[in-house]
Amino acid sequence: MNEDERAELDRLVPGPARPELSADRHRLLRGHLMSEIRETKPARARRGRLGWVALPALAGGLALALALTNGGGDGAPAPQQQARQAPQDTQAQPAPQQSTGTLNAAPVGALQLLSQAADTAAGKPDPKPGKGQFVYVESLVAFGSSNIATGESKVDPAHRRQIWLSVDGSQWGVLKEGQGQGGKPNAPEKVKPGEPAPRADGGMWLDPNTRPGLNAPTYAYLATLPTDPDALLKKIYTETKGMGPGPDQEAFVTIGDVLREQIAPPAVSAALYRAAAKIPGVTVVDDSVDASGRHGVAVARVDGGIRTEWIFDPKTHEFLGERTVVAAEGNDFGKPGTVTGHSAVLASTVVDQPGEEPQQKNA
């Protein structure tokens, strides 16, 4: 291709709609799909068998990059799992919407469930962590992949993920993923200037978060958010403008990322649920299963033929985890009902040191 042809191609084919993940953001959300995007450096790819690429898993920030492009890899992928069949939505899915930014109420079923989840969140005690403390979240996560050549899809076995995040972002955090539950331990990385010495427990250091935002929040940042749902949702639309497949889906997965791997003051958590109820296209799935096998009722939204589900305990309305499922025929990721990824929150609390595990786990 000559220079004139290349210039014409550049003119006709637009560049990417959103920037790549920064190295810091990727380190924080390592191992997941559909990047949350902040700045310059591209996300690293997981390696594995030639031909396999990542499927949408845990939509939004926790996301896998395109992967698996050489045969050397870290070892053969885990055996294929049978995909679970997902139930149908109890509400008819509305036609896809263009950029909205409007504050529309969800269907009654979703509105009721999110209101119940908001009430549960509002009734929890405020942890009021100190600046020197850390948010600790333990979860099980499982990701999907598909073989380009054969069309075969699979979800890897769930593995343990632990993360410690500085409450105010001023200190180094820690990520431990894979140890002891079927996953691979974090690969050692080159020590950066100013980074603490490598950890004996195999944990990976996470950079201090000096510029928190909705796509990489700290507890201190979340504590500053408005507790009025309309004002909060407007802020989410504003700060995520131009990101993701569209404003409504980006708002939905942004809230989901906070639910899955952060702690917020009770009033803010409640406002996040009530804000989610105002996003167009939100429905209910009567039965969903998280990565630990717990059944629950889910709030869901379909985008690009993939349904993202937030799973709640049907009695307490506590957030259990998240699942992504193929929702439409003709999808490259499999037949309708194919699970492309799931997670389960096992513990979330505040601790004094990175790497410290709580004596009692509070889901």
Of 21-35, 74-88, 122-136, 186-200, least confident by mean pLDDT is 74-88
Query: Could you read off the pLDDT of 164-183 as tens digits, one per residue?
Result: 999 999 999 999 987 544 44
In a domain, 7, yes or no: no
**Model confidence at 1, in pLDDT bands (50, 70, 90)?**
low
Q: Which two tokens stand for residue 349?
A: 């609390």
Q: What is the pLDDT of residue 23?
A: 41
Who has greater pLDDT, 231 or 103?
Answer: 231
Give me the amino acid identity at 54: A
Most confident of 32-41, 83-92, 124-133: 124-133
Yes or no: say if 286 and 90 are a contact pair by the CB < 8 Å rule: yes
Name which of 14, 42, 13, 11 is nearest 26 in CA terms.
42
For 195, other C-beta atoms within 10 Å of its C-beta total: 12
Look at residue 2 and tell me whether its pLDDT is greater than 90.
no
Look at residue 91 and tell me whether its pLDDT is greater than 90.
no
Q: What is the pLDDT of residue 108?
A: 79
Look at residue 33 and tell me whether its pLDDT is greater than 60.
no
Who has greater pLDDT, 244 or 16?
Answer: 244
Of 38-42, 86-90, 253-257, 285-289, least confident by mean pLDDT is 38-42
Q: What is the mean pLDDT of residues 40-49?
A: 29
In a domain, 212, yes or no: yes
Percent of the chain beyond pLDDT 90?
52
Query: Could you read off the pLDDT of 115-148 as tens digits, one per residue?
Result: 999 999 999 999 999 999 999 999 999 988 777 6
In a domain, 356, yes or no: no
* Whole-angstrom distance, CA of residue 62 vs CA of residue 56: 10
Look at residue 95 and tell me whether its pLDDT is greater than 70.
no
In a domain, 198, yes or no: yes
Q: What is the pLDDT of residue 55?
A: 52
* Whole-angstrom distance, CA of residue 104 vs CA of residue 94: 13
Q: What is the mean pLDDT of residues 206-231?
A: 95
In a domain, 139, yes or no: yes
Q: What is the pLDDT of residue 332?
A: 75
In a domain, 358, yes or no: no
In a domain, 137, yes or no: yes
In a domain, 14, yes or no: no
Query: Could you read off the pLDDT of 284-321 as tens digits, one per residue?
Result: 999 999 999 999 999 999 999 999 999 999 999 999 99
Who has greater pLDDT, 284 or 107?
Answer: 284
Q: Which two tokens stand for residue 139?
A: 């979860």
Q: What is the pLDDT of residue 180?
A: 41
* Whole-angstrom distance, CA of residue 70 vs CA of residue 351: 40
Tell me how many domains the chain contains: 1
Q: What is the pLDDT of residue 232?
A: 97
Q: What is the mean pLDDT of residues 21-49?
A: 33
Q: How many residues does the chain have?
A: 363
Give me the domain span that covers residue 51: 23-351
For 2, other C-beta atoms within 10 Å of its C-beta total: 7
Percent of the chain beyond pLDDT 70?
65
Q: What is the pLDDT of residue 275?
A: 97
Helix axes 229-239, 266-276, angle to 10 degrees: 70
Question: What is the overall mean pLDDT for the chain?
Answer: 75
